[in-house]
């Protein structure tokens, strides 16, 4: 089954909000055995929406839209969809009663325009929305399937998972499954060079690299009649990639460096503490994004000023004077000091020059030292993080934080092996 994702909303075209719905739907459709060939964005304009539906159905059997199901005048998706399939919009008494009860429970008056949300194309199946007031719609016309979903992700995602996904899996009879190998410390071009033959020759499963900020993901995707069958196709390819790349693999299906770190710390009953200068709390922020991080993370300090480095985490004033704040010596003392301050198993530190100013010929912008300290293992790495990004400062800080997380992960695994 070929599918298209059609995101509706002028705010998307103007860049006022990020289109996370398309990313979510693309990944979920793959799991349902549906091939996504196109994605489009259309503003709140009936003529352009109708034109896009015509174009989309000329090449795809399934079109899924998000947005435009609200009560206001510019919410036109249902009206255009009904007209496209030659259906009338009729008021659904059950939805109207549900809307009235919902507004009553909220203690809010139901304005006349909300009644519009009870209007449903004839012959359509209703997708219930327990998280909002706009019901979704499943509309079939011959071999064409049009699914209308609300725009807010907190409404759209559960509606798709609980009501649309089961229908699609039943319709396709196929399952597409993916597994992701996460690499750190190697660029996309180097990965592609080593795996080119595998990527060209593999048909089922396929192997594709995806570059992220400072890391690479290898996604292995297989299609089968069952989940077990797809996973059986993936396993030998995934195992070979992990063997070939060895320590560059920081995890499989772990999502992110910070998630991999929290998992490793949790499994080994260890804790980490962080002292940051140039990253300004970014490592701490990334760790605490992860549910359950409170069990493994007690302390993160931003030791930006030199006297704070000395007073809080015990960096030698003499070493600060002799070597400077951006140095191997200071990075190691920061890692040791914060580990002692928090009573943690692992201490991580960053100190560097994120720019755009502050660099010198001896210590240019992008020079960062990242340190780690734990029982039996201490290391400081020197990084030259040159960046051509629009916001080079943030790019340098983020990549430095990734190196900190990666070093902490290595330390956690070393401790876990004891």
Q: Is the pLDDT of residue 418 over 80?
A: no
DSSP at 418: -
Using DSSP bridges, classify how beta strands 175-184 and 206-212 pair: parallel, antiparallel or unpaired. unpaired
At residue 27, the pLDDT reads 82
At residue 24, the pLDDT reads 92
Q: Are 165 and 159 contacting, i.e. CB atoms less than 8 angstroms apart?
A: no
Q: Are 233 and 251 contacting, i.e. CB atoms less than 8 angstroms apart?
A: no
At residue 106, the pLDDT reads 83
Q: Is the pLDDT of residue 21 over 80?
A: yes
- The tokens of 279 are what? 């990253």
- The tokens of 271 are what? 């804790």
Distance, CA of 147 to CA of 125 (rounded, Å): 10
Q: What is the pLDDT of residues 237-259, one digit of tens each?
A: 999 999 999 999 999 999 999 99
Nearest alpha carbon to residue 55 among 38, 78, 73, 32 = 38
Nearest alpha carbon to residue 234 among 218, 250, 216 = 218
Domains annotated for the chain, with CATH where assigned, are: 2-172 (3.40.980.10), 175-252 (3.30.70.2860), 257-416 (3.90.950.20)
pLDDT-based confidence at 210, cuts 50/70/90? confident
pLDDT-based confidence at 305, cuts 50/70/90? very high
| Strands, sheet with 346-352, edge to edge from the N-terminal-most edge strand | 297-302, 272-276, 346-352, 367-374, 377-384
Q: Are 8 and 45 contacting, i.e. CB atoms less than 8 angstroms apart?
A: no
| Strands, sheet with 125-127, edge to edge from the N-terminal-most edge strand | 35-42, 2-8, 62-66, 144-149, 136-141, 125-127
At residue 202, the pLDDT reads 86
- The tokens of 78 are what? 């249902």
**How many CB atoms within 10 Å of residue 286?**
23
Q: Is the pLDDT of residue 219 over 80?
A: yes
User: Taking the C-alpha atoms of 236, 181, 221 and 286 in order, what is their torsion angle to the nearest 10 degrees?
Assistant: 150
- Taken in order 373, 377, 380, 381, is the CA torsion positive or negative? negative
Residue 85: what are its φ and ψ, rounded to 5°?
Answer: -95, 5
Q: What is the pLDDT of residues 104-163, one digit of tens each?
A: 888 888 988 989 999 999 999 999 999 999 999 999 999 999 999 999 999 999 999 999
Q: Are 327 and 369 contacting, i.e. CB atoms less than 8 angstroms apart?
A: yes
Q: Which residue has the higher pLDDT, 320 or 75?
A: 320
**What mean pLDDT do residues 35-60 have?**
95
Mean pLDDT, rounded, of the chain: 94
Q: What is the pLDDT of residues 355-409, one digit of tens each?
A: 999 999 999 999 999 999 999 999 999 999 988 888 999 999 999 999 999 999 9
Q: What end-to-end distance do the CA atoms of the chain give, in Å?
A: 51
**What mean pLDDT do residues 262-272 have?**
97
- Which range among 9-13, 64-68, 290-294, 348-352 shows the weakest confidence by mean pLDDT? 9-13
Beta bridge partners of 65: 6, 148
């Amino acid at each position: 089954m070929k599918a298209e994702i059609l995101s509706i909303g002028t705010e998307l075209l103007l860049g006022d909000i990020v289109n996370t719905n398309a990313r979510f739907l693309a990944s979920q459709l793959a799991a349902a055995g549906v091939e996504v060939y196109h994605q489009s964005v259309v503003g709140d304009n009936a003529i352009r929406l109708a034109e896009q539906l015509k174009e989309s159905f000329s090449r795809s059997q399934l079109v899924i839209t998000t947005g435009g199901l609200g009560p206001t005048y510019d919410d036109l998706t249902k009206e255009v969809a009904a007209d496209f399939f030659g259906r009338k919009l009729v008021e659904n008494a059950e939805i109207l009663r549900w809307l009235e009860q919902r507004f009553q429970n909220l203690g809010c008056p139901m304005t006349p325009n909300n009644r519009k949300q009870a209007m449903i194309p004839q012959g359509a199946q209703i997708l219930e929305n327990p998280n909002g007031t706009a019901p979704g719609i499943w509309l079939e016309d011959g071999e064409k399937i049009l699914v209308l979903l609300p725009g807010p992700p907190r409404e759209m995602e559960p509606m798709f998972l609980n009501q649309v996904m089961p229908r699609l899996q039943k319709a396709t009879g196929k399952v597409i499954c993916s597994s992701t190998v996460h690499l750190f410390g190697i660029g996309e071009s180097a990965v592609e060079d080593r795996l080119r033959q595998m990527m060209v020759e593999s048909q089922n499963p396929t192997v594709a690299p995806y570059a992220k900020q400072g890391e690479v993901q290898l996604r292995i995707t297989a299609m089968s009649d069952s989940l077990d069958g797809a996973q059986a196709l993936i396993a030998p390819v995934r195992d070979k990639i992990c063997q070939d790349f060895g320590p560059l693999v920081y995890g499989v299906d772990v999502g992110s460096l910070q998630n991999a770190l929290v998992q490793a710390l949790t499994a080994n009953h260890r804790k980490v503490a962080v002292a940051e200068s140039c990253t300004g709390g970014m490592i701490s922020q990334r760790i605490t994004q992860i549910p359950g991080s409170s069990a493994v993370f007690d302390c993160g300090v931003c030791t930006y000023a030199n006297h704070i480095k000395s007073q809080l985490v015990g960096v030698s004033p003499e070493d600060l004077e002799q070597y400077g704040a951006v140095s191997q010596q200071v990075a190691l003392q920061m890692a040791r000091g914060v580990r002692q301050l928090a009573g943690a198993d692992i201490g991580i530190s960053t100190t560097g020059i994120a720019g755009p100013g502050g660099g010198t010929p001896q210590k240019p912008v992008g020079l960062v030292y990242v340190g780690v300290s734990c029982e039996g293992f201490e290391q400081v790495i020197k990084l030259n993080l040159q960046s051509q990004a629009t916001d080079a400062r943030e790019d340098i800080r983020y990549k430095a934080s990734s190196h900190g997380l990666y070093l902490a992960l290595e330390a956690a695994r070393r401790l876990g092996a004891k």
